[in-house]
Amino acid sequence: MKSTRFGLVAAAAVLALTASACGSDDGGSGGSGGSGDSGGGDGIKIGIKFDQPGLGLKKGNEYTGMDVDVATYVAQQLGYDADKIEWVQAPSAQRETLISTGQVDMVVATYSITDERKQKVSFAGPYFIAGQDLLVRSDDSSITGPDTLDGKKLCSVTGSTSAQKVKDKVPGVNLQEFATYSECVAGLVSGAVDALTTDDTILAGYASQDQYKGKLKVVGAPFSEERYGIGLKKGDTEMCTKVTDAIKKMINDGDWQTAVDDNLGAAGYKPPAGNPPTPDACS
């Protein structure tokens, strides 16, 4: 997608950085050079999910979702127009590696801030507080939270910690494990299962899809807290401060609410308590 001229400029920049050897951990990171500056580079690489409706979804050459909107806003505050963003797929298991090796400048991908992850990367934010919840059919009033799942068929993906949390709390639940959340949603619509559990943002994203509008709803009784942050290279305090300031501005000027409404509002989703969040000092 980049022009030949851009490729030559980027190559020259990489050679210059290599020659300076300013504390780089490796010589082939593949990063854009955007980390730590406020728009002086030619572009910025941002890791997102490619398969989460309402959050980070790739369809052809189009990228949509709340995480995409947040990332685009932050990039613009750093001096990068939307056409200077290179989107990189960031599966959950690869996020730390993508950051530490310089393959991306930041990750905005339902990336919960945890003490374990903070040992490997720095976080700006949070920009959203999510919670584990339940997705049910719109006409089902019998399920109002985990304590009403006894004897019900609950779906989540194979190996999901979300489903296991519910099973531990409600031993009588009938856990059904599918390979993907999309399969769970299809099973919910057909009546094969009674509920689906994972982060409420992910649930709202599926419920907001055109084919499911009016058919599904998020229960709205979250029973965990997930603080979504923007992952950055460990110890890059300057960049982290700039990104946190950008998140604060997005919240204050109303664009944060617009992003939530545009991407998740169709499901009747209401962000849980604590939103909009107050971004902490960089961690």
For the chain, 283 residues long, the average pLDDT of each consecutive 10-residue run is: 40 38 34 42 92 93 97 98 96 92 96 92 96 94 94 85 80 89 93 94 90 90 91 96 97 96 85 92 76
Tokens for 148? 């009403």
- Looking at the fold, whether 36 and 77 belong to one and the same domain comes out as yes
- Closest C-alpha to 73, from 228, 251, 239, 241: 251
- Looking at the fold, whether 23 and 93 belong to one and the same domain comes out as yes
Task: Provide the pLDDT for residue 35.
Answer: 41
Q: Is 23 left (phi over 0), alpha (psi -120 to 50) or beta?
A: left
- Looking at the fold, whether 166 and 183 belong to one and the same domain comes out as yes
- Looking at the fold, whether 197 and 239 belong to one and the same domain comes out as no
The per-residue DSSP string of 162-207 comes to HHHHHHHH-TT-EEEEESSHHHHHHHHHHTS-SEEEEEHHHHHHHH
Residue at 125 is within a domain: yes
Task: Provide the pLDDT for residue 268.
Answer: 77
**Distance, C-alpha 160 to centroid of its chain:** 17
Q: What is the pairing mode between strands 56-59 and 51-52?
A: antiparallel
- Looking at the fold, whether 72 and 156 belong to one and the same domain comes out as no
CATH code of the domain covering residue 103: 3.40.190.10
* 250, 276 Cβ separation under 8 angstroms: no
Hey, CA dihedral for 268, 271, 276, 280, is it positive or negative? negative
The per-residue DSSP string of 257-270 comes to HHHHHHHHGGGT--
The whole-angstrom separation of Cα 61 and Cα 176 is: 34
What range defines the domain where residue 48 resides?
4-130+226-267
Residue at 280 is within a domain: no
Q: Which residue has the tokens 């409600």?
A: 170
- Looking at the fold, whether 103 and 119 belong to one and the same domain comes out as yes
* Domain total of the chain: 2
Which of 201, 218, 235 is the C-terminal boundary of a domain? 218
The whole-angstrom separation of Cα 17 and Cα 5 is: 19
